[in-house]
Structure 1
Amino acid sequence: MAERPSASRQKAYRRGHYGEWLAAAALMLKGYRILARRHRTRFGEIDLIARRGDLVLIVEVKARRTLMEAMEAVGGESEHRIEGAADFWLSRQSDYGKLSVRFDMVAVLPWRWPVHVKNVFYGRN
């Protein structure tokens, strides 16, 4: 029988869902279409995949107290995980050759509208 997650883990899970919902709403108001939420691959998970025209955003959502804390939370290990998952997702798109990809972050901060940070890292060449 599986153990129930702790109360703090359940709270973090709910906070993550809420943060991703807010981030998706902010991107939709900017004209992006949300293609996937919590997209899982064998390489890792992508919080949000959004698209506007031929531009695809691979978005990491971070809920932190400050923008600096959110920026610091996207480190080298998570960059590699996100890149691998993004490559896997992109390879399955029929229009892969004409897509531009950008790795962004949306910081969800207390009592503020989410902050969209473009090109939080650049990915592999």
Structure 2
Amino acid sequence: MPPLPPRPAPSRKRRSAYRLGLRAETLAVVALRLRGWRILARRYKAGSGEIDIIARKGDTIAFVEVKARATRDAALAAITAQGQRRIAAAARVWQARREDADAAVLRFDAVLVVPGRWPIHVADAFTAPQR
């Protein structure tokens, strides 16, 4: 089998978006910690899905999607149905691997990062779509 050709380097725009996403996730982690959440995982990947942050506060475990956009509404709208399905699939994998998750309340939250504002934590931003 011949070797795969090298991948082209990511564009400047793509690298910039990646860095913006990392900064937004870091801000989200700080905001959640200041509100009493314990971070269980960042950038959890399972199958075709990824969860930006998994956090716990008391008996609640939140699978948190972080979105950085110009406005709150644009950030919330960026959580698409396809994205919700991917997050939910990754959450099911994570839950199956954790015994302590069975007794917890599980929910899907969002942290919206908007310029000039503290990150906005939206509890129960969406419900797990059916498979």
> Which bracket does the TM-score occupy, shorter chain normalised?
over 0.9
When normalised by structure 2's length, the TM-score is 0.91
> Which residue in 1 is equivalent to 2:20?
15
When normalised by structure 1's length, the TM-score is 0.95
State the shift of 1:74 in Å: 1.0
Larger radius of gyration: 2
Moved over 4 A (4+): none
Stretches of structure 1 that go unaligned for 5 or more consecutive residues are none
> Which residue in 2 is equivalent to 1:25?
30
Q: How high is the sequence identity, in percent, across the aligned residues?
A: 46
Asked if structure 1 preserves the Cα contact closer than 8 Å seen for 2:85 and 2:129, the reply is no
State the shift of 1:65 in Å: 0.5
Return the letter of the residue paired with 1:29: L
Count residues in correspondence: 125
**SS at the partner of 2:73?**
helix
State the shift of 1:94 in Å: 1.7
Aligned-residue Cα RMSD (Å) equals 1.2
State the shift of 1:96 in Å: 2.6
Return the letter of the residue paired with 1:76: A
Return the letter of the residue paired with 2:37: Y
CA distance in 2, matches of 1:105, 1:63: 11
